[in-house]
């Protein structure tokens, strides 16, 4: 997927991964902590 996305980027733009570190589970396991983590991920993605 990455090569396809890179071809779509305009010159000077870079592709950057923003998300959770690799883990066995898809979420933290505590709803409040999950929400806080998701908020941080979205904020980081939108600030690039």
Burial bucket for residue 2 (CB in 10 Å: 0-12, 13-18, 19+): exposed
Contacts of 2 (CB under 8 A, 6+ apart): 15
Q: Is the pLDDT of residue 27 over 90?
A: no
Cα separation, 7 vs 39, in Å, equals 29
Specify whether the CB–CB gap between 39 and 18 falls below 8 A: no
Q: What is the pLDDT of residue 14?
A: 85
pLDDT tens readout for residues 6-19? 889 888 888 888 99
- The pair of structure tokens assigned to 26 is 């898809």
C-alpha 14: how far from chain center? 14
**Mean pLDDT value of segment 30-48:** 91
């Amino acid at each position: 997927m990455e090569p396809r996305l890179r071809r779509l980027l305009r010159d000077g733009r870079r592709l950057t991964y923003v998300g959770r570190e690799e883990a066995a589970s898809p979420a933290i396991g505590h709803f409040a902590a999950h929400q806080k983590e998701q908020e941080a991920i979205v904020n980081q993605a939108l600030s690039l």
